[in-house]
Amino acid sequence: MNVRTLPPRPDAFDRNLLLRALAPADRQLLAPLVEDVTLTTGQVLFDPGQDVTHVTFPLDGTVTTLLVPLLDGRTIETATVGREGALGGVVSQGYLPAFNRAVVQLGGPALRMSAKQLQEVKQTSPAIRNVITRYADCLLAQVLQSVACNAAHPIDQRSARWLLTLQDRLGDDTLPVTQEMLADMLGVRRTYLCGVLRGLQAKGLIQIKRRQVTITDRAALEDAACECHARVREHFTEVLGAIYRDDGKLVAVKPDAAPAPSSALAVKAL
């Protein structure tokens, strides 16, 4: 992995919502084990079949995507991970071969640590284990909902869902994405997607400019999207105690305020 590593800055834990939710004592357990990394747009964090050796926690403005590559060269997005979460050895115990590809969609800062060390810390800290277990459940829910969405919903609804998901993680109406990037995520040709985006723009939902898409009417875009975006948000709220602003930005997770985990959430495989 081509990254620049440094010791974590003092405010780094506050720039990832999972880490921010931890008590000071639990942060101190992780602090000696994590390092600052700078991720670049388009960087592949792992590919199918590679051992997942590290867990990455994106910080403000950094967004990664889990993709399933197909034999015909297309890739299909299954989950988007930003400052609300982590990827790499989160659902599994780490150091297992990856099934999918993890790509940096919007480069920026992140924290990284050994997947093995995270598993060891989880055994000593119930709070860290609880946060990671709950997030793993939410990540799996996002993957499963994406599978259903890709199979059942038309491209205009899927496009709206992806734009809303990205805005949730960035908290900004202007999304620094290209039409080519969005087409790759959705597994369609760029020329086809251009027509879809122009249709959303004609309805006053978005504005398209070079290398960016601006959401001009979020409420209407939510109405134009399928139910998948809302269902994933609801699950994040129920399981992880996610808190959203009126403009959609995910601003905090409070796992202690969420209901006690069921036996399904406590499965060791998570």
- Find the CATH number of the domain harbouring 76: 2.60.120.10
Which residue, among 44, 52, 109, has the nearest Cα to 83 in the 3D structure? 109
Query: In this structure, are 88 and 29 located in the same domain?
Result: yes
Residue 264 has pLDDT above 80, yes or no: no
Please, what is the Cα angle at 125 between 123 and 131, to 5 degrees?
100
Query: Could you list the residue range(s) of the whole structural domain that residue 159 is in?
Result: 154-225
Query: In this structure, are 125 and 36 located in the same domain?
Result: yes
What lies within 8 Å, CB to CB, of 224 at 6+ separation is 156, 157, 160, 200, 203, 205
CA 104 to CA 80: how far, in whole Å?
10
pLDDT digits (tens, 9 = 90+) for 78-88: 999 999 999 99
Query: In this structure, are 143 and 187 located in the same domain?
Result: no
Q: Is residue 264 part of a domain?
A: no
Question: For the whole model, what pTM was predicted?
Answer: 0.89
Query: In this structure, are 125 and 249 located in the same domain?
Result: yes
pLDDT digits (tens, 9 = 90+) for 103-128: 999 999 999 999 999 999 999 999 99
Q: Is residue 119 part of a domain?
A: yes
Q: What is the count of structural domains for the chain?
A: 2
Which residue, among 111, 135, 110, 103, has the nearest Cα to 18 in the 3D structure? 135
Confirm if 172 and 184 have CB atoms less than 8 A apart.
no
Q: Which residue has the higher pLDDT, 131 or 11?
A: 131
Ramachandran quadrant class, 258 (left: phi over 0; alpha: psi -120 to 50; beta: rest): beta
pLDDT digits (tens, 9 = 90+) for 158-183: 999 999 999 999 989 999 999 999 99
Reported as a pLDDT band with limits 50, 70 and 90, residue 73 is confident
**Long-range CB contacts (< 8 A, 24+ apart) of 68-71?**
68/99, 68/100, 68/101, 69/100, 69/101, 70/187
Q: Is residue 268 part of a domain?
A: no
Q: What is the pLDDT of residue 91?
A: 76
Q: What's the average model confidence in pLDDT over 73-94? A: 88
Query: In this structure, are 178 and 102 located in the same domain?
Result: no
pLDDT digits (tens, 9 = 90+) for 28-54: 999 999 999 999 999 999 999 999 999
Query: In this structure, are 220 and 235 located in the same domain?
Result: no
Q: What is the pLDDT of residue 261?
A: 53
Reported as a pLDDT band with limits 50, 70 and 90, residue 260 is low
Q: What is the pLDDT of residue 171?
A: 83
Residue 266 has pLDDT above 60, yes or no: no
Q: What is the pLDDT of residue 11?
A: 87
Q: Is residue 181 part of a domain?
A: yes
Q: Is residue 266 part of a domain?
A: no
Axis-axis angle for helices 155-170, 179-186 (nearest 10)? 110
Reported as a pLDDT band with limits 50, 70 and 90, residue 145 is very high
Q: What's the average model confidence in pLDDT over 248-265? A: 73
Mean pLDDT for the chain overall: 90
Residue 143 has pLDDT above 50, yes or no: yes
Query: In this structure, are 113 and 244 located in the same domain?
Result: yes
Q: Is residue 269 part of a domain?
A: no
- Find the CATH number of the domain harbouring 172: 1.10.10.10
Q: Is residue 60 part of a domain?
A: yes
pLDDT digits (tens, 9 = 90+) for 224-244: 999 999 999 999 999 999 999
Q: Across the chain, which distance is largest between two alpha carbons, in Å?
A: 55
Query: In this structure, are 32 and 161 located in the same domain?
Result: no
Residue 18 has pLDDT above 60, yes or no: yes
Reported as a pLDDT band with limits 50, 70 and 90, residue 89 is confident
Query: In this structure, are 106 and 172 located in the same domain?
Result: no
Q: Which residue has the higher pLDDT, 265 or 249?
A: 249
**Long-range CB contacts (< 8 A, 24+ apart) of 116-121?**
116/53, 117/33, 118/33, 118/55, 118/89, 118/94, 119/89, 119/93, 119/94, 121/29, 121/30, 121/33
Q: Is residue 179 part of a domain?
A: yes
**Long-range CB contacts (< 8 A, 24+ apart) of 4-8?**
4/37, 4/38, 5/35, 5/36, 5/37, 5/112, 6/35, 6/36, 6/37, 7/35, 7/36, 8/34, 8/35, 8/36, 8/111
Ramachandran quadrant class, 73 (left: phi over 0; alpha: psi -120 to 50; beta: rest): left
Q: What is the pLDDT of residue 7?
A: 58
